[in-house]
A = this chain, B = another copy of it.
Amino acid sequence: MVSTLNKTDELKGQSIVISGGGIGGAAGALALSLRGADVTLFERAPEFKEVGAGLQIGPHGWRMLEGWGVIDRIIAAGYLPQDMQFRDAITRETILTLSFDEEFEKHYGGRYLVIHRSDLLSILVDAAREAGATLHNGATVGESRRTETGIEVDLEWESKEGPATFHADAFLAFDGIHSRHRHHLVEDAPVPSAYVAYRGTSKLQEDEAMKDLKSVIGYIGPHVHFIQYPLRGGELLNQVAVFESKRYLEGREAGDVPEDWGNPEELKQAYTHCSEFIQDRLDTLWTHNWWQMSDREPLLKLNHGRMILVGDAAHPPLQYLASGAVMAMEDAEAIAIFASDAANAGNLDWEQIFEEVSAERAPRCARIQTTGRFWGELWHLEGTARLIRNELFRQADRTGWFQYADWLWGYDASKREYLKDPSKGELPKEIQEWRYALLEKNREVNA
């Protein structure tokens, strides 16, 4: 399969160290190895695996996977839904259908795909290794420091013995939302959304009610949503139930948030205002585990010398735009492209490259994070606002919705659009205004 990878050698002789072997780190290892860099990745866990279930990849991710030469493996492991349907969670009415048809493919130069997180990770890990990257388990990257010629990181080994430090030309911190490298740029904490997710996969063909499913379906309603789509060529049904936790909100009000906010007792009560169909589906979810959803405030600068914060470490989004994994892949690709261009120009200066990557990626990711928060609020509206939202979706259904998605799904890091025109990173004024209102609300709550 190596033959399918698109390998070049602009970064030959460059040594890159990556912290974190999730989807972002593996994508980073792949993208940079494909440019000829000498990549070494350290992952704390004893093996490469992802918690969770399905993951959506829009055409912004598809085009990169195609460019790296792994799209065939991805297609073989994933599922190509015919469309994405937004439905009202109370009435079940389909209010907006995004058709993933030929027009879509032509418009975005890619398709829409869903895949099991662990399948995506193992394809990226395998491809990175095939491309020449060295991936280690059982080691965490600790503090980093500049050296005369590069950057040195400390290594903390879980069980086996290994070197205490590692030296490289550049360091990519792909170590997730609880990143231990973020403090170089900002002292902050994850921002809980008050929403919690329950997931589950099951055999699609054994599920009478769902066996003909060929779509991504999102039921959206007051304070809840519920997602369904096939995985693994239609073998599995993937479902996600997300709701606002009253325990969290009450705890926040009282200044004492219980650790188990969003527990299974809350799940049972959260959908009583929704269609019975959805209430019945909840029994098919896993209840031994649930995910309390958080993001962080956007970061305006990602780089610190020869270190750069990327993926969820830099800009963990809420899940509403289904772009978290793709954002990390975009970071990887931006670094690979900007560094290759610098090398081709005979000017391979990692500090300068990271400066540019930061200037390109920070506004792009801030926009995704903030728009994601807004998109979530839109899904969960109640009362009059919900009715207007439904009518707006119907309007978009009749008259076209590309206008709302182009900025997200049409992005290409090589165009350096945010770097060239920083105003592209400015949010539409309505969303800026909304964001301000949200921050005010949080300030009040924290005061």
Task: Tell me the bound Cα distance from A63 to B381 in angstroms.
Answer: 40
Nearest CB in chain B: distance from A58 CB, A: 22
Report B-chain residues with C-beta under 8 Å of the C-beta of A392. Answer: 388, 391-392, 395
CB distance from A90 to the nearest CB of B (A): 8
Residue in chain B with minimal CB distance to A395: B395
A391 to B389, CA, bound (A): 10
User: Complex: how many Å from CA A388 to CA B428?
Assistant: 13
Residues of B contacting A429 with CB < 8 Å? 91
CB closest residue in chain B, given A429:
B91
8 A Cβ contacts from A272-323 to B:
none
Shortest beta-carbon distance from A404 to chain B in Å: 9
At the interface, yes or no: A396 with Cβ under 8 Å from chain B? yes
Whether, in the assembled complex, A433 has its beta carbon less than 8 Å from a beta carbon of chain B, the answer is: yes
Residues in B neighbouring A385, C-beta threshold 8 A: 381, 384-385, 388
Q: Map CB proximity to B onto A423-437 as digits: 1 under 8 Å, 0 otherwise.
A: 000000111011001
Number of copies: 2
In the complex, which residues 358-396 of chain A have their Cβ closer than 8 Å to any Cβ of chain B?
Answer: 374, 377-378, 381, 383-385, 387-392, 395-396
Nearest opposing residue in chain B for A382, CB measure: B437
Tell me the chain A residues, 384-429 only, with Cβ under 8 Å from chain B.
384-385, 387-392, 395-396, 398-399, 429
Contact between A389 and B388, CB atoms less than 8 A apart = yes
A383, A388, A395, most chain B CB atoms within 10 A: A388
Chain B: CB-nearest residue to A91: B429
Main secondary structure of the interface of A (DSSP, over half): helix
Asked if B387 contacts A384 (CB within 8 A), the reply is no
CB < 8 Å neighbour of A399 from B91, B387, B395: B395
User: For the complex, what is the distance from the CA of A396 to the CA of B394, rounded to whole Å?
Assistant: 11
How many whole Å from A356's CB to the nearest CB in chain B? 33
A387 CA / B431 CA spacing, docked (Å): 8
Q: For the side of the interface on A, what is the size category?
A: 20 to 34
A385 to B, closest residue via Cβ: B385
Pick the contact of A377: B374, B384, B399, B433 (CB < 8 A). Answer: B384
Alpha-carbon separation in the docked complex, A381 to B431 (Å): 16
In-complex Cβ contact of A384 among B374, B395, B398, B399 (8 A): B374
User: Could you say which residues of chain B place their CB within 8 Å of the CB of A398?
Assistant: 399
Chain B contacts of A399 at CB under 8 A? Answer: 395, 398-399
- Which one of A383, A390, A431, A433 has the highest number of Cβ atoms from chain B below 10 Å of its Cβ? A383
- Whole-angstrom distance from the CB of A398 to the nearest CB of chain B? 7
A91 partner residues in chain B, CB cutoff 8 A: 429
Minimum CB–CB distance for A265 against chain B, Å: 27
Q: Which residues of B contact A431 (CB under 8 A)?
A: 387
Give CA–CA (A381, B385) in the complex, Å. Answer: 8
Measured between C-beta atoms, what is the minimum distance from A427 to chain B in Å? 12
Q: CB distance A391 to B434 under 8 Å? A: no
Q: How far is the CA of A302 from the CA of B385 in the complex (A)?
A: 34
* Minimal Cβ-Cβ distance residue in B for A387: B430
Nearest B residue to A399, CB-CB: B399
What CA separation (Å) do A374 and B378 show in the bound complex? 20
Set B391, B433, B437: member contacting A430, Cβ < 8 A: B391
Q: Which residue of B lies closest to A404 (CB)?
A: B391
Which residue of chain B has the shortest Cβ distance to A374 in the bound complex? Answer: B384
Please indicate the chain B residues that have their CB under 8 angstroms from the CB of A390 in the complex. Answer: 430
A377 CB contacts on chain B under 8 angstroms: 384
CA distance A385 to B381 in the complex (A): 8
> CA A430 – CA B394 in complex, angstroms?
13
Which residues of chain A in 162-197 are interfacial with respect to chain B, using CB atoms and an 8 Å cutoff?
A: none
Contacts A377-B384, A381-B388, A399-B399 known; 4 new A-B pairs at CB < 8 A? A91-B429, A384-B385, A385-B388, A388-B392
Q: List 30 A-B contacts (CB under 8 A).
A: A91-B429, A374-B384, A377-B384, A378-B384, A378-B388, A381-B384, A381-B385, A381-B388, A383-B434, A383-B437, A384-B385, A384-B434, A385-B385, A385-B388, A387-B430, A387-B431, A387-B433, A388-B388, A388-B389, A388-B392, A390-B430, A391-B392, A391-B430, A392-B392, A392-B395, A395-B395, A395-B396, A395-B399, A398-B399, A399-B399
